[in-house]
Every structure is written in structure tokens, then in C-alpha cells.
Chains A and B, each alone.
Chain A
């Protein structure tokens, strides 16, 4: 064995070739985040907010341009088989960057104050302590949320583009660690926010350990963590068979945790409720896109050969996710928790598309993720506007009669709820239709039937809120903040994309169906 190890050592050092043009978008985002950290260290406090917001938005726009120009022409597997830039990877990265740009607009909302409204001025100070009061008096800001967001975005971009389970694990952590911190930085109800952060962290670390142990078992089976090598080993049935299936299942559990599928959804409602609303929107959209991208790549590229072993289990997970999300959203009384359970139900619908296991499955999943991402960011940006005695009015009863108090905000929110339901002329309808059609073509008729029943249940929940907003008398001191340019832009972009994808879905559907081929 020693001799064989010595034989395996390369005699000469070979430098790894990296196609920098292909990974330029990720490098730009990482670079922007680093500069953001420098600004945080050196820029005077009063310039920081403007500087960080400008830098973050410019970085994201530059990354989007780089994806559309430089990376698109340099597709292939690069960095010694660690990163793969192919059709699906590019389109997932583009979607993540676009969603992040819209999400950052909501985070930058500051109404009439000098600092971002949703974030605490001193995350390190104990809530209600003299230190916190001193920080507020001094006009401290939490502008570090913007570099943290950029780091999370970079991790999200790497996640669906990793061709190696180790890189995927590193990307998983790079995207998760900033999100754990971001969810603990809410300005109001800080104890709740810190608790959300703790729960997210402990459960997230727990699930990433499962992912890693699964990767270790697969390494034992295939002798490599590269997805293409794993696919070859699976096809040749070489290696210790007992390791493969447990490994596959543990890796998939780690990914399902990130998308918030039942029975790994327990963190979702708590974290969505406790985190600052703009962060919740960004996290709900971005993490889902990235994790579904990684899940698609792992299932379609590496584990396709043993699909008969994992398909029945994932069928069960998809059905359970849809049912849990739909049924529990009926009993919710808090708006953010309700949207969290709705996100669980949506994760189930997207899983139906993933399980189609054909090209339509990839393109419809992509379309659903874009549609869901934009509506959810806009919805959480609206939740951040509705206030009662200074706090966000998240209890459903506080939303009663909102249509009379603020017709525009209530109208836009009602439109987004119709899109969540999947009413025609919204992106939600096209998306649901696309995933269900793909699933029927892939032999998942039973999944589709459960999906349609669950859509019916969630429709009841959303319509009930619309009725509450329009047909009941206003009660309490609920008021709607007047949004500045930032939130207005965020909400309008989210709503316009939702409307546009509902009326003219074909450009995005075409783009998605042209980029469904995973490089191996």
C-alpha cells in the first residue's frame, strides 16, 4: 500500500489551469466584498451607507455583465475539476445575482434616518443595554450587512457551479455563515432575532455535518469527490456498495435542509420570523435558488445511475413538504411565519419539477425559482413597510382593512399573493404549470395530483388575507411607512417581473430550456 501511494505521487509539480474569464463573476463578487470590508474599516461613518450601497449594487451589476459576456464564452470545467461553468451554472448564477441586487435595494431602505432601517445599530451590544443606547446616540450603523451579503452571494454563486463535493461543502459554508449573522441583526425585537440566528446556526451546522459525512462515504466508494468520477464509479458499480446509498442520502439531506423541505424544515418559520424582513426575502430567494441548483447538479450528474434507490425517498419528501407547507400555513397568525410555510410548500412544488428527471425538469425548476424569488423578495419588502407602534405589524389581525388605509400597498401585496397562489396572468401560474407538466412527462402524475390539492389549500390561505385586507374594518394603529426610492424600486421590480413572466413567459422559458445541459 505504501508503495502504491508513493507511485501515485506526481513526480513533477503541475500548475493548475484556471480559466479566469469563466470564474470572473465570482471573483468580482468576492473582490467587492473585500473592498466592502476595507470601507467598513477606513471610511468615516457618515459616508459608509452610501458607499456600501453603491459598491454592492455596482459589484452585482458588474457580475451580471460578466456572466452575460465573459463567462458565457468560456464554458467548461476549470480549476482542476473543481468548478464547472456550464449552461445551468451560468443561468443559476445570473438569477442569484439579479435577485441579490433586488434584495439589496430592500436592505438599503432607511426612510428618513441616516442608517439602514431594518438593522440594529450595534449588533454586539446587549439589547436594551447602556452600550446600545450609546451606540444609537453616536449614530452607529450596521453597514457591515452589505459586505456580508456579498460574501453570501459569492457562496451562492459557487454552490450550483461546483463540480466537486468538497467545493460544494465549502460553498455551502461560505453562503451560510454570513446568513447566520445577518439573521441576528434586526433592529426591533432583537432577542427574537438573536434567537433565530442561534437556531439557524445550530441546525445549519448540524445539517452541513451530515452533508460532509455523506461526502466522506461517497469518497470511500468512488475514490474521488468529483461529480463526474462519482458518476463513472456508480455506472461501473466499482467499490464498496454499502457506502454509496447512505452517502447519497446524507448528501441529499444536507441539501434538502438548505431548501427547507420537510422533514428538515423546522428552522424555516423561526428564522424567517426572527430575521430582519429584507434579509428574510433575500435569504428565502437566494438560498433556494442556490440549493436547488446544487441539488439538480448532484442528482442529475453524479447520482443519476442509482436513481431508483433515491427516487422513492425524494417522492416521499416532496409529498410531505407540500402537505406540511400547505396545511400548517392555514393555522398561522403571523405574516412572516405564514410566508415561511408558504415557502416550504413552494419548495415542495419545485421538488416536483426536480423529480421529473428530464430536460423539462431542469428548465421548469429554473423558471419556478425565478418566479418565486422575485415575488418573495417584493412580499417581504412590503412586510417591512407595514408598522404598528414602531414595530413591524406582523400579526394577521393588524393587516385588517389595509386596503382602505393604503390602497397601493395592499393592491401590490394582493397581486403578489395571487402570484403565490398561481392565478393566471402572474408568474406563479406559468411556473406551477411548467413544473407540473414536466412532472407528468417524467411519470410523476401522483406527485402532480398531490401538488394541485396542496395548491388549493394554499389558495385558501392567500385569498383569506386578501379578504382580510379589503373586506374588514381597519383596527388598531397599523400604518404604512412611505417607502423611499430603494424599497419602491425593489417592490416595483419584483412585481413587474412577476407580471411580465405571467404575461410573456416565453423568453425566459426559452432561455431556460436552452441551458439545461450539465457538463460532466
Chain B
């Protein structure tokens, strides 16, 4: 199978992730969309590393995983504190700030 197919797959996963961010209401699901986008990027990095005959892309993917883990810590803490204050993690309910 051609390596380019993996790039197509990663682009499709990235698009699904961004659609989830834009369409879904639950903050946790929105956040899962972001994670899907980051992991799609990892797949692209690893595939390109294979295409270019280097190891750099795989090392980059490790860095991205660490950063994504740090993001999860901060993100879930923020979503938790909102959920406990409002009993809801819906981004539509968070509407105090308006024009």
C-alpha cells in the first residue's frame, strides 16, 4: 500500500476532529476532537518520516504526545471546575459572556 494513503487518512482524521470541535456541545467531547486532531498530526509526522527516510518525525511525535498530555491536565481541570459550578459541561450553557 502506498504511503500517501496514510497522509490521506491523517487528513481525514484531522477533518473529523475539527468537525467534532465545531459541532459538538459537550466540552469533553469537544476536547476529544482536539485530541483527535493532534493524533492525526502525529500520524502525518510518522508517515512523512518514513517517506523522507528519517527518524525526526517519530521523535517529533513523542514531543507532541507529551505536550498533548500536559494539555489534557490543564483542560480537564478547567472543564471539571466548570462542571462542578454548573452541573453541566455543555459549551452552550457557558453563555454569560456575550456581545
Q: Are A and B a genuine interacting pair, yes or no?
A: yes
A residues with a Cβ closer than 8 A to B are 1, 4-5, 8-9, 123-124, 126-127, 166, 169-170, 173, 177, 180-181, 184, 190-192, 194-199, 201-202, 205-206, 209-210, 212-213, 215-217, 219-220, 223-225, 269-270, 273-274, 331
Kindly name the residue among A123, A180, A219, A270 whose own CB sees the greatest number of chain B CB atoms within 10 A: A219
CB–CB B56/A224 < 8 A: yes
**In the complex where A192-B96, A209-B34 touch, is A202 in contact with B21 (Cβ < 8 A)?**
yes
CB–CB A225/B60 < 8 A: yes
CB–CB A209/B17 < 8 A: yes
CB–CB B74/A201 < 8 A: yes
Kindly name the residue among A196, A213, A331 whose own CB sees the greatest number of chain B CB atoms within 10 A: A213
CB–CB A184/B51 < 8 A: no
CB–CB B55/A216 < 8 A: no
CB–CB A219/B45 < 8 A: yes
CB–CB B94/A195 < 8 A: yes
B1 to chain A minimum Cβ distance, whole angstroms, is 14
6 further A-B contacts with Cβ under 8 Å, apart from A201-B78, A202-B21, are: A8-B55, A201-B75, A205-B75, A213-B41, A216-B45, A225-B56
Cβ-closest chain B residue relative to A224: B56
CB–CB B85/A194 < 8 A: yes
CB–CB A213/B14 < 8 A: yes
Q: Give B26-70 as 1s and 0s: 1 = Cβ < 8 Å from A's Cβ atoms.
A: 010011001001101100110110111111110010011001001
CB–CB A206/B60 < 8 A: no
B residues less than 8 Å from A181 (CB atoms): 74, 77-78
A311 to B59, CA, bound (A): 33
CB–CB A202/B97 < 8 A: no
CB–CB A202/B64 < 8 A: no
A residues less than 8 Å from B30 (CB atoms): 202
CB–CB A219/B48 < 8 A: yes
CB–CB B31/A205 < 8 A: yes
Number of residues on chain B facing chain A (CB within 8 A): 47
A206 to B78, CA, bound (A): 15
B residues with a Cβ closer than 8 A to A are 7, 10, 14, 17-18, 21, 27, 30-31, 34, 37-38, 40-41, 44-45, 47-48, 50-57, 60, 63-64, 67, 70-71, 74-75, 77-79, 81-82, 84-86, 91, 94, 96-97, 99
B residues less than 8 Å from A177 (CB atoms): 70-71, 74
A121 to B39, CA, bound (A): 37
A residues less than 8 Å from B52 (CB atoms): 220, 223
A residues less than 8 Å from B38 (CB atoms): 209, 212
- 30 residue pairs of the A-B complex, CB under 8 angstroms, read A9-B55, A123-B81, A126-B84, A166-B60, A173-B67, A180-B74, A180-B78, A190-B85, A192-B96, A194-B81, A194-B85, A195-B96, A197-B78, A198-B79, A198-B82, A201-B74, A202-B21, A202-B34, A202-B75, A205-B34, A205-B71, A209-B37, A212-B38, A213-B37, A216-B44, A216-B45, A220-B7, A220-B48, A225-B56, A273-B97
B97 to chain A minimum Cβ distance, whole angstroms, is 4
B residues less than 8 Å from A198 (CB atoms): 27, 78-79, 82, 91, 94
CB–CB A4/B53 < 8 A: yes
Cβ-closest chain A residue relative to B7: A220
A residues less than 8 Å from B57 (CB atoms): 219
A155 to chain B minimum Cβ distance, whole angstroms, is 12
Cβ-closest chain B residue relative to A200: B78
A249 to chain B minimum Cβ distance, whole angstroms, is 14
**In the complex where A209-B37, A220-B44 touch, is A169 in contact with B53 (Cβ < 8 A)?**
no
**In the complex where A126-B85, A209-B41, A216-B45 touch, is A199 in contact with B53 (Cβ < 8 A)?**
no
B82 to chain A minimum Cβ distance, whole angstroms, is 5
**In the complex where A1-B50, A216-B41 touch, is A184 in contact with B78 (Cβ < 8 A)?**
yes
B residues less than 8 Å from A170 (CB atoms): 63, 67
